[in-house]
Amino acid sequence: MTSLSTTAALTELQAINQMLAAVGQIPVTSIDVDANQNPTNPDVAMAMETLKQVSKEVQAEGWDFNKEYNVKITPVLNTTSKDTEIVIPANVLQMDLCRDHWQNRGTDSVRRGGKLYNKTNHTYNWEGDQYVDIMYLFEWDDLPAAIVNYIVNRACAVFAQRVVGSTDLYTMLQGQAEQARTFALEYET
């Protein structure tokens, strides 16, 4: 069995072309965009949106490459509310107090309004440094090759279902996606 490289992953353009090929469309040499940075080709636009959606779904499963534990976070003063708040960055899929931290202090948290909310004290205010577990959403170029391969194969199946609607094609592509998931899980371990 050959192992997958952790470098030299597909570019987004190559991924889009694989998705287009899966439904019998010709590849594109570039992704032309309008003034609002939206793709001008409707098939390419749908493929890009599907790719982004599937990438987010796959990353939200939580993998070794995108999870960090026990990360120290210092709350920042909100000059309007006068609370010291923990604002969750846009590239974070999930942030929660470390299990050891909240169990020992009797505090629970949840994401609300783009900030970490203290469910125990019913406030956005946090006193002192906090320790959190974080799941990041990475940009395409920062993803490991095995994960990119899984995302592309899964996106091909979803895209084909949306564009063609063929159960046979979807089943075949879904089988390829499951095989790619197996390689991603092998990479994970």
**Strand 76-77 relative to strand 130-136: parallel, antiparallel, unpaired?**
unpaired
| Residue 76: closest CA among 38, 123, 129 | 129
Q: What is the pTM of this model?
A: 0.84
Which phi and psi (to 5°) does residue 13 adopt?
A: -65, -45
- Residue-wise pLDDT for 31-71, tens only, equals 888 888 888 889 999 999 999 999 999 999 999 999 999 99
Whole-number Å distance between alpha carbons of 71 and 132? 5
* Predicted local confidence at residue 102, as pLDDT: 56
- 97 pairs with which residues across the strands? 132
Please, what sign has the CA dihedral across residues 123, 125, 126, 131? Answer: positive
Asked if 35 and 44 count as a contact pair (C-beta separation under 8 A), the reply is: no
Cβ count within 10 A of residue 6: 12
